[in-house]
Amino acid sequence: MISSDINAAFNSYIPHPDTFAGQRDGFSALTWLRAVRRFLIVSNVPEPLHTLVAISFLGPDATYWFASCGLKNDSPFNLFEKQFKSVFIPSDFGSQIRVRLASLRMSSTVNLYINETRQLLNALLADVDDISERKEIDSFACFSFIQGCPQSLNVLLRGLQIVKSVDSNDLMHAARQYDDIYHFKPDSKPSVGSFSDSTQSSDVILELKSVDPTAKENNRLRREINALRNGLRNKGNLAPLTAAERQRLKQRGACYRCRQDGHMARECGNGSLKNIPMTEDA
């Protein structure tokens, strides 16, 4: 019965996930897990077989990891996911993505810029189930997206935000519609809201007009984005810890200084990171 279930899954018309070679870059691991979940659901693979089917898509290096991780072929899939993520997704992956999202700016076309933003946003939302946290991340992405746009598109999107509340999907859809009309090009020099090493953080992002009902939230997002961007100037040091990231680390019981699990900040042995600034809680 089990073999027939597996054969049915593999012989279905559903595209199979690519083989996971064992990259530890976060994106590859999340993309592979997403493809595996989709395959398991659409192929109607029985739950007891989820882990067994998933490991059939592991390459040699990743297979060696599974053989030594203590799990079995019939282990619950959620345990497989947890151990898989702990090995193949860096512990500071979320912080890295927020920094990249905060510093991203349009350098080619609007469509490419949207795709780059979506990739980063999807990575941030991958394991977030809490509605309020998802909303906070989406707001962060919206604000970052607008600041990375050419100045002319920046103004149009900020105007849209003032008129009505929009999420990232609405915002990017509007950006595409505007682009169909105006065919935006990247600014020839860093626009307001874009990042460069010589730009002072106080000048990085435009102050929104006082009529904007979201001004208070945008001010908070501005401070967080500036903190992340300023962190890129620290020659390899981690970006300053934001209030949202501090809360996530607290929930994990992780170190506030090096972002690693297993110890607290006062016990941190990463001497080179001991003086990294941390933003105050909001």
Q: What digits encode the pLDDT tens for the residues 159-193?
A: 888 777 889 999 999 999 999 999 999 988 654 44
Per-residue pLDDT of the chain (282 residues; tens, 9 = 90+): 455 555 555 555 678 899 999 999 899 999 999 999 999 999 899 999 999 999 999 999 999 999 999 999 999 999 999 999 999 999 889 888 999 999 999 999 999 999 999 999 999 998 788 899 999 999 999 999 999 999 999 999 988 887 778 899 999 999 999 999 999 999 886 544 433 333 333 333 333 333 344 556 666 666 666 666 665 545 445 556 667 777 777 877 778 777 777 777 777 765 444 333 333 333
Could you give the CA distance from residue 72 to residue 256 in angstroms, rounded to a whole number? 34
Helices (H) and strands (E) in the chain, counts: 12, 0
Q: What digits encode the pLDDT tens for the residues 116-125?
A: 999 999 999 9
For the chain, domain boundaries: 2-88, 93-241
Q: Is 188 exposed, middle or buried (0-12, 13-18, 19+ CB in 10 A)?
A: exposed
For the entire predicted model, the pTM comes to 0.65
Could you give the CA distance from residue 18 to residue 62 in angstroms, rounded to a whole number? 13
* Tokens read off for 44: 């109607």
